[in-house]
Amino acid sequence: MNIQQQLDGFVAFFSDEQKPLSVDSFEKFGLQGKLTHYQKGALLMTQGCPAPNLFFITQGYVRYFNVSVEGKEFTQSFASAPSIAGSTRAMTRNTPALFSIEALDEVICLEFEWRNFFSTMKQQPGFLEAYCQLLENLFIKKEEREYAFAHHSAEQRYLDFLDRNPELSNKVPLKMIASHIGITPIALSRIRRKLGV
């Protein structure tokens, strides 16, 4: 997959059905993006460091995680292609990232410096609408995750994970899934035995 194909996918991702963007109009503003390849285990961005870039993942999958002062890892979420990744807080406030993003597979993505990208693209018909819809979806997922921790059993949270991430269920290490749904790997093993998974 070459950079033109990557760019086609990115423009389509940020296009509103009523006001679609075009690659030609996108390129005339000089927003080329940097095509980057990350090996499994590599970090796209690191907790505690500046993270000014927006990533458009076109191949592979990643996890968002943070590490406590005691050195314990907490898996916040997962994302698989096609999707965007990055720290909104770090990009918009120019502050260090509160988490890291790790490639769990070979990842290919386009990288854009956020401030330049947003200041240019916010003037394009369709972009803000698509961006707002993207943010809405992220907020909805956050609300549903918080509700699940308060109201769903660990078994139900695991079943929800399988339902929402069928492509990741056999690819992601169980300890990461356990961390993501808020239980220990031993507890997850018990749930899987009970379910016959």
Q: Which pTM was predicted? A: 0.84
Residue of 192, 187, 142 lying closest to 162 (CA atoms): 192
Average pLDDT in the 169-181 region?
93
Q: Between residues 64 and 126, which one has the greater pLDDT?
A: 64
The percent of residues in the chain predicted with pLDDT above 70, rounded, is 83
Q: Which of 60-74, 77-91, 122-136, 155-169 has the lowest mean pLDDT?
A: 122-136
For the domain spanning 3-125, the CATH number is: 2.60.120.10
pLDDT in tens, 127-168: 777 778 778 888 898 899 999 999 999 999 999 999 988 888
Average pLDDT in the 36-48 region?
97
* Whole-angstrom distance, CA of residue 134 vs CA of residue 127: 10
Is the confidence at residue 9, as pLDDT, over 70?
no
Average pLDDT in the 63-74 region?
95
pLDDT at position 29 is: 52
Q: Where are the domains of the chain?
A: 3-125
Written in H, E and C, the secondary structure of 126-191 is CHHHHHHHHHHHHHHHHHHHHHHHHHCCHHHHHHHHHHHCCCCCCCCCHHHHHHHCCCCHHHHHHH
Cβ–Cβ under 8 Å, residues 48 and 87: no
Is the confidence at residue 67, as pLDDT, over 90?
yes
Is the confidence at residue 174, as pLDDT, over 90?
yes
Residues ≥6 apart with Cβ < 8 Å to 2: none
